[in-house]
Structure 1
Amino acid sequence: MSAETNKGIKAATTLLLIATAAVLFRLAGGSRLCDPTALKQVLQGHEVLAPVIFVLLYGITPVLFLPGLPMAIAAGLLFGPVWGVVYAITGATLGASASFLVARHLAREWVVGKLSGEMWQNLDQKVGEQGWKIVAVTRLVPLFPFNLLNYAFGLTRIPFWHYVIASFLFMLPGCTAFIVFSSSLPQLLKGKASPSLFVGAALIAAVMLLPAWYRKRALQ
């Protein structure tokens, strides 16, 4: 069996394992953990370990293609605007890094072997040289599915730590916006409008306007 065939089998096996794990996790009710009420029940009685459990669960969501936004909202409800941001951005960065490493070490060689044309090589080189800028744009302006991008970046030659740092910095605005807003919801349900409600709403509006601003700037 050739080396290229072995790489192809390894890549296909990795994809199958991830898909199987995602399906089994959902069938076992794991997707319920994205619900703040269910997550709160899981964390009850684990006050000391609750942040660690939350970060690990959040880290799993991108790897298994589960939505991260419900986890971010849960972070604001469970931990407040400050620690909610700390735990959520840590979990999101952990998950993005894990997906990247899976693709980098288990599938990149096979992809490079298959896409060996000049166009791919030029693209791969540009991403390697200015990859953090591409990561920044895709984190700030959600043009493509977040979870899929984590794996896609792992197939390029962008340095791992450039990817991690850029992901952390440029996921932070959106993460902060939704968590600050969600932390105000318990008070809002009691008929009280806390400062975090207005701050969070303003931040969400700013994040939502980024795609339109980017498209306008790109056309100039």
Structure 2
Amino acid sequence: MSDPVSSSQTAAGQPARRAMMMGGALLALVLVVFALGKLGVLPSGQALQGWMDGMGDSPWGLPALILLFCIAAFIGMPQFALIALAVGVFGPWQGATYSWIATLCSGALTFYVGRLAGEAAFRRYAGKSANRIAGFIGRNAFVASAVVRNVPTGPFLLVNMAFGVSRARFWPYLAGMGLGSLPKILLIAFAGRSLMAALQGNMMTAIGLALAAVGLYSGVAWWMRRRAESRRQSVALIGKDQVDISERSAE
């Protein structure tokens, strides 16, 4: 049988290619936004900034975003989309801060869903993904929780439930998630600021921010993957046996 941890690490191990693809896509988007802004098709950067400032002043903005993140965790909405939505509504830096807080809140909720539901429920819900996800939960909850945010493993809900089902302590898990989620959030924040600069006609600033976004994300994600490769050991969940649907069905 193939090692689930090794196979997922192999799928994650092309940071240079991914960085080139993200960089090319982001630069193309910057050029399109810059051109549409010059043609008057899109609103001006000043008008958009004023709208964002108005949304940011609302006392319900952060609670509403936290609720959205918590609900989205159970329906499988990609976090990239949620963070991009927050950045688009609240602006790059306030949106990034709100996204980080909402990520921690939804992560705490799904952690305790796993802890309260128990291992049997996690196994039924996770199915064939259980072994692969459990393989990333090592003896250091902080490191594992940080690394797993940047290595493709499984849906946000299942990953956090796996930590809850395991013997992982809550605060190291939450701190690791707070650190590990920063590259993704900062990538989108820098990208959002880059697009704002393009709308305002600052082309060189827009390109510089786009390159900084991709460089920052790729560098941290590469370091996280290296950490994942150096810690191949895993510990069981609550029970002693890992889940393997294929083996059980063959018996």
TM score, norm. by length of structure 1: 0.61
Give yes or no for contact 2:92–2:193 (8 Å, CA) kept in 1: yes
Residue 169 of structure 1 pairs with residue 179 of structure 2: yes
Give yes or no for contact 1:185–1:197 (8 Å, CA) kept in 2: no
How far did residue 168 of structure 1 move? Answer: 0.8
1:184 match: secondary structure: helix
Q: 1:186 to 1:210 in 2, by over 3 A?
A: closer
Output the CA distance in 1 between the equivalents of 2:160 and 2:210: 26
Q: 1:200 to 1:169 in 2, by over 3 A?
A: farther
Pick the aligned partner of 2:107 from 90, 93, 96: 96
Q: Which residue of 1 aligns with 2:216?
A: 206
Match of 2:100, as an amino acid? I
Q: Which residue of 1 aligns with 2:117?
A: 106
The number of residue pairs the alignment matches comes to: 167
Match of 1:142, as an amino acid? V
Output the CA distance in 2 between the equivalents of 1:76 and 1:194: 21
Match of 1:180, as an amino acid? F
Q: 1:103 to 1:64 in 2, by over 3 A?
A: same
How far did residue 102 of structure 1 move? Answer: 0.3
Q: 1:55 to 1:198 in 2, by over 3 A?
A: farther
Q: 1:78 to 1:134 in 2, by over 3 A?
A: same
Q: Which residue of 2 aligns with 1:142?
A: 151
Q: Which residue of 2 aligns with 1:74?
A: 85
Q: Which residue of 1 aligns with 2:65?
A: 54
- Greater RCO, CA 8 A, separation 6+: 2
2:67 match: secondary structure: helix
Residue 157 of structure 1 pairs with residue 164 of structure 2: no
How far did residue 205 of structure 1 move? Answer: 3.0
Q: Which runs of 5+ in 2 are unaligned?
A: 1-50, 124-130, 231-251
Match of 1:143, as an amino acid? P
Q: 1:62 to 1:202 in 2, by over 3 A?
A: same
Name the % identity.
22
Output the CA distance in 2 between the equivalents of 1:105 and 1:202: 41
Output the CA distance in 2 between the equivalents of 1:111 and 1:59: 18
Q: Which residue of 1 aligns with 2:195?
A: 185
Output the CA distance in 2 between the equivalents of 1:111 and 1:84: 32
Q: Please list the CA deviations of residues 51-74 of structure 1 after superposition, one character each: whole Å capped at 9, or x if unmatched.
A: 221222123222332111111112
TM score, norm. by length of structure 2: 0.55
Match of 2:183, as an amino acid? P
Give yes or no for contact 1:72–1:178 (8 Å, CA) kept in 2: yes
Structure 1 runs (4+) greater than 6 angstroms displaced: 109-112
Match of 2:76, as an amino acid? F
Q: 1:144 to 1:186 in 2, by over 3 A?
A: same
How far did residue 48 of structure 1 move? Answer: 2.8
Q: Which residue of 2 aligns with 1:26?
A: none
Whichever structure has more helix as a proportion of its residues is 1
Output the CA distance in 2 between the equivalents of 1:127 and 1:214: 14
How far did residue 193 of structure 1 move? Answer: 3.2
